[in-house]
């Protein structure tokens, strides 16, 4: 037997002599094989990075630790003099050789077949909306629930908006997924989850796969109604200049870059139009981004409403009573209270609505009791869709930027603070964005003409 064989080949037998070393070796091999499978596949999913960068290394090092442990135990068992005996010859007739070869063959076959199938299915699963929405239920639960009722985009997968294209984006997403897992396990994540939780994808990578940036929507009727205390419908109607609004920011050759004071981009510090004006204000900001769809339509897939919007929408649709006196006021009083948990809200909200009427309008209470009982359940559903005390998420925590009534929205830029050197500001003229037909008016003539 040559020196080389004795030195480099034979010690391999140590590895499989004891069952503990065999388990260890198996773990090491599985971790390596899975790593190889995942490297291709986890490109597509940030969350897979959690598996690849956290679980596999743990397996790998655990296995690496078991191997010498097994060898030590075997030593103790086999040789009181602490010297293991190696086989004299490497030939098929030797039982230890057989055992090693069979072990390696079985383990490798197992890894390739099971590992391959498993990692393929894991990739599929981890990319699914179901995984993103439910894997860490409490944390992503609100977005998932909002997404499911979200209408137009409930078919777009979470990863299609949250994991961009290009190597940099994927590495960032993986790193981020791993970091989130650590924060989750140590219970140190922020409540509510900040938006955007990480670099936002550009709309060129997401929205514009389906929507054409240059499509001209022209003018659109925008309307909303609410009911006053006496149960009268009040109408607001605008002609929204959607074509003009889109064109001003995203039209051909248009490029607007802004700098914000925060990653939530609630406060703008500077706005620059390429080959055009530069608007600056007080304050500094580190977050810079080229303006796109997401700076106005920031809640395309999981929008949360304010209590006012939710109640008005449901009343207009007839899902909440329109003619019960003072209903809007009562509903907002009940929804606006702080409840310690969703369970507490489930017990208290329906009763609170009745209590409100008992105290403030006992006659209406007697007349509309069944309607109010049903409405209590409906209000609870609205609450549960929007408020999560355990995540410190409440009405209005995640504002929508596509307007200016509930939050600054358009006025983050179109205001008096941001101006050019010569003092020009971005337009605040009502008519450049919309023609106002009427605001909270009874019997709005323009709408009657439309037959509505
Ligand atoms: C159509 C694109 C799109 C899809 C699909 C999407 N998101 Fe989002 N998500 C966004 C945008 C844009 C933001 C940033 C919101 C903002 O700035 O107000 C965001 C923010 C978030 C946040 C940060 C907290 C918050 O609500 O602002 C979480 C958590 C989140 N998304 C989870 C999910 C989950 C889970 C899914 C799948 C069930 C999903 N998202 C699907 C676009 C999307
Ligand atoms: C998978 C294709 C797809 C993607 C990706 C997509 N959309 Fe849409 N979107 C649609 C379709 C289809 C409709 C029309 C649905 C309807 O008429 O009910 C729509 C409707 C809309 C509407 C009008 C209705 C509403 O819900 O307000 C807006 C605004 C919108 N999308 C913005 C966006 C933004 C912003 C993004 C990127 C974050 C985006 N979309 C990504 C397919 C997509
Ligand atoms: C400067 C803000 C702004 C930007 C940027 C913007 N939008 Fe809009 N968009 C609006 C407003 C305002 C409306 C009309 C108000 C509403 O529907 O609530 C609208 C309406 C829409 C609608 C509905 C049109 C209809 O049928 O009534 C779609 C779809 C849409 N936008 C898609 C997009 C897409 C895709 C992008 C990016 C390529 C984009 N928007 C960029 C402000 C913006
Ligand atoms: C990030 C900053 C920013 C936000 C947010 C923003 N805008 Fe603008 N807007 C601009 C800039 C910059 C211009 C171009 C000013 C110029 O040409 O110097 C502009 C121009 C416009 C114009 C064209 C004005 C004209 O005289 O033709 C309209 C209309 C408009 N914006 C509507 C909106 C609406 C509606 C929203 C909210 C849904 C909004 N903008 C949000 C930066 C912004
Ligand atoms: C920079 C563009 C812009 C300017 C300037 C602007 N608005 Fe608006 N306004 C919007 C958009 C966009 C919405 C739609 C909000 C939504 O979809 O929720 C809106 C909504 C409204 C509404 C409906 C409120 C509601 O119930 O949501 C009223 C009323 C209104 N605007 C009045 C005005 C008046 C009055 C002015 C002038 C002082 C003005 N706006 C200036 C863009 C603008």
- Measured in angstroms, how far is the CA atom of residue 242 from the centroid of ligand 3? 7
pLDDT at 444: 87
Judged against a pLDDT cut of 80, whether residue 180 lies above it is answered with no
Mutate to test the pocket of ligand 3, among 207, 222, 289, 297 (most ligand atoms within 8 A of CB): 297
pLDDT at 1: 58
* C-alpha 136, offset from chain centre: 11
Report the range of poorest mean pLDDT among 3-12, 216-225, 413-422: 3-12
Judged against a pLDDT cut of 70, whether residue 198 lies above it is answered with no
The pair of structure tokens assigned to 218 is: 């022209």
Give the integer Cα–Cα distance in Å for 118 and 55. Answer: 14
The pair of structure tokens assigned to 350 is: 């329906």
Q: Mean pLDDT over residues 309-318, rounded?
A: 96
Mutate to test the pocket of ligand 2, among 146, 160, 211, 301 (most ligand atoms within 8 A of CB): 211
- How far CA 319 is from CA of 126, 232, 233, 378, 382, in Å, comes to 37, 16, 15, 8, 11
- Measured in angstroms, how far is the CA atom of residue 203 from the centroid of ligand 3? 12
Q: Which ligand is nearest to the CA of 209?
A: 2
- Contact yes or no for 239/446 (Cβ under 8 A): no
pLDDT at 440: 95
pLDDT at 127: 67
Higher pLDDT, 97 or 181: 97
- Contact yes or no for 425/281 (Cβ under 8 A): no
Nearest CA to ligand 2 atom 37: 207
pLDDT at 88: 66
- How far CA 150 is from CA of 66, 137, 143, 397, 406, in Å, comes to 50, 18, 10, 17, 19
Please choose, from the candidates 102, 66, 86, 94, the residue with its C-alpha nearest in 3D space to the C-alpha of residue 12.
Answer: 86
Q: Mean pLDDT over residues 96-120, rounded?
A: 76
- Measured in angstroms, how far is the CA atom of residue 405 from the centroid of ligand 5? 7
Please choose, from the candidates 326, 145, 137, the residue with its C-alpha nearest in 3D space to the C-alpha of residue 231.
Answer: 326
Judged against a pLDDT cut of 90, whether residue 395 lies above it is answered with yes
Please choose, from the candidates 152, 149, 117, the residue with its C-alpha nearest in 3D space to the C-alpha of residue 133.
Answer: 149
Judged against a pLDDT cut of 70, whether residue 443 lies above it is answered with yes
Give the tens place of pLDDT for each residue, 30-46: 888 877 776 655 545 55
Please choose, from the candidates 218, 399, 156, the residue with its C-alpha nearest in 3D space to the C-alpha of residue 299.
Answer: 399
Report the range of poorest mean pLDDT among 168-182, 207-221, 283-297, 298-312: 168-182
Which residue has 């419908």 as its token pair? 233
pLDDT at 278: 95
Judged against a pLDDT cut of 90, whether residue 211 lies above it is answered with yes
Report the range of poorest mean pLDDT among 87-96, 243-252, 319-328, 436-445: 87-96
pLDDT at 326: 95
Give the integer Cα–Cα distance in Å for 211 and 215. Answer: 8
- Other CB atoms closer than 10 Å to residue 199's CB: what's the count? 16
- How far CA 185 is from CA of 136, 180, 194, 374, in Å, comes to 10, 9, 18, 40
- Counting from 1 in the atom list of ligand 4, the atom nearest the Cα of 424 is 18
**Residue 436 in contact with ligand 5 by CB distance below 6 A:** yes
Judged against a pLDDT cut of 60, whether residue 82 lies above it is answered with no
Judged against a pLDDT cut of 60, whether residue 239 lies above it is answered with yes
pLDDT at 195: 81
First to last CA, the chain: 98
Judged against a pLDDT cut of 90, whether residue 423 lies above it is answered with yes
Nearest CA to ligand 3 atom 19: 242
363 exposed, middle or buried (CB, 10 Å; 0-12, 13-18, 19+)? exposed
**Contacts with 174 (C-beta within 8 Å, 6 or more apart), sequence order:** 42, 46, 48, 49, 52, 53
- Contact yes or no for 169/162 (Cβ under 8 A): no
The pair of structure tokens assigned to 238 is: 């605008």
Average pLDDT score over the chain: 86
Confidence bin at 378 (pLDDT 50/70/90): very high
Judged against a pLDDT cut of 90, whether residue 121 lies above it is answered with no
pLDDT at 238: 96
Judged against a pLDDT cut of 90, whether residue 152 lies above it is answered with no
Q: Mean pLDDT over residues 104-131, rounded?
A: 72
* C-alpha 173, offset from chain centre: 12
- Measured in angstroms, how far is the CA atom of residue 400 from the centroid of ligand 3? 13
- Other CB atoms closer than 10 Å to residue 47's CB: what's the count? 28
Judged against a pLDDT cut of 70, whether residue 178 lies above it is answered with no
Largest CA distance in the chain: 105
The pair of structure tokens assigned to 94 is: 């030797």
- Measured in angstroms, how far is the CA atom of residue 297 from the centroid of ligand 3? 7
pLDDT at 436: 95
The pair of structure tokens assigned to 88 is: 């004299």
- Contact yes or no for 277/420 (Cβ under 8 A): yes
- How far CA 12 is from CA of 29, 69, 81, 101, 199, in Å, comes to 14, 15, 20, 11, 48
């Amino acid at each position: 037997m040559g020196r080389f064989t004795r030195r480099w080949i034979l010690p391999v037998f140590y590895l499989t002599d004891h069952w503990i070393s065999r388990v260890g070796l198996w773990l090491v091999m599985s971790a390596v094989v899975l790593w190889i499978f995942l490297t291709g596949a986890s490109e597509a999913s940030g969350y897979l990075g959690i598996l690849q960068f956290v679980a596999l290394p743990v397996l790998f090092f655990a296995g690496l630790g078991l191997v010498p442990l097994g060898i030590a135990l075997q030593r103790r068992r086999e040789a009181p003099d602490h010297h293991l005996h190696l086989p004299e010859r490497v030939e098929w007739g030797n039982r230890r050789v057989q055992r090693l070869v069979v072990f390696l063959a079985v383990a490798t076959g197992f890894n390739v077949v099971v590992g391959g199938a498993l990692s393929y299915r894991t990739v599929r699963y981890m990319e699914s909306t179901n995984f993103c929405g439910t894997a860490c239920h409490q944390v992503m639960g609100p977005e998932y629930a909002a997404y499911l009722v979200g209408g137009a985009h409930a078919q777009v997968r979470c990863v299609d908006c949250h994991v961009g294209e290009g190597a940099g984006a994927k590495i960032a997403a993986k790193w981020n997924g791993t970091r989130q897992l650590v924060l989750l396990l140590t219970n140190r994540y922020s409540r509510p989850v900040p938006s955007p939780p990480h670099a936002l994808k550009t709309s060129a990578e997401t929205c514009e796969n389906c929507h054409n940036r240059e499509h001209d929507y022209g003018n659109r009727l925008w309307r909303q109604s609410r009911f006053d205390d006496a149960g009268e419908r009040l109408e607001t109607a605008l002609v929204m200049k959607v074509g003009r609004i889109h064109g001003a920011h995203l039209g051909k050759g248009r490029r607007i870059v802004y700098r914000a004071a925060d990653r939530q981009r609630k406060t703008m510090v500077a706005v620059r139009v390429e080959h055009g004006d530069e608007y600056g204000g007080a304050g500094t900001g580190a977050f810079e981004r080229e303006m796109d769809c997401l700076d106005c339509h920031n809640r395309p897939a999981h929008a949360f409403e304010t209590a006012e919007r939710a109640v008005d929408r449901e009343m207009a649709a007839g899902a909440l009573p329109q003619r019960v006196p003072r209903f809007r006021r009562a509903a907002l009083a009940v929804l606006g209270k702080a409840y310690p948990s969703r369970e507490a809200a489930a017990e208290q909200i329906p009763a609170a609505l009745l209590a409100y009427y008992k105290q403030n309008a006992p006659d209406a209470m007697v007349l509309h009791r069944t309607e109010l009982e049903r409405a209590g359940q409906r209000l609870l559903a609205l609450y549960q869709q929007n408020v999560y005390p355990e995540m410190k998420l409440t009405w209005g925590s995640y504002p929508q930027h596509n307007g200016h009534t509930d939050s600054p929205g358009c006025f983050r830029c179109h205001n008096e603070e941001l101006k050019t050197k010569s003092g020009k500001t971005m337009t605040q003229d009502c008519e450049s964005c919309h023609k106002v037909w009427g605001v909270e008016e009874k019997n709005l003539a323009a709408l009657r003409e439309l037959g509505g």
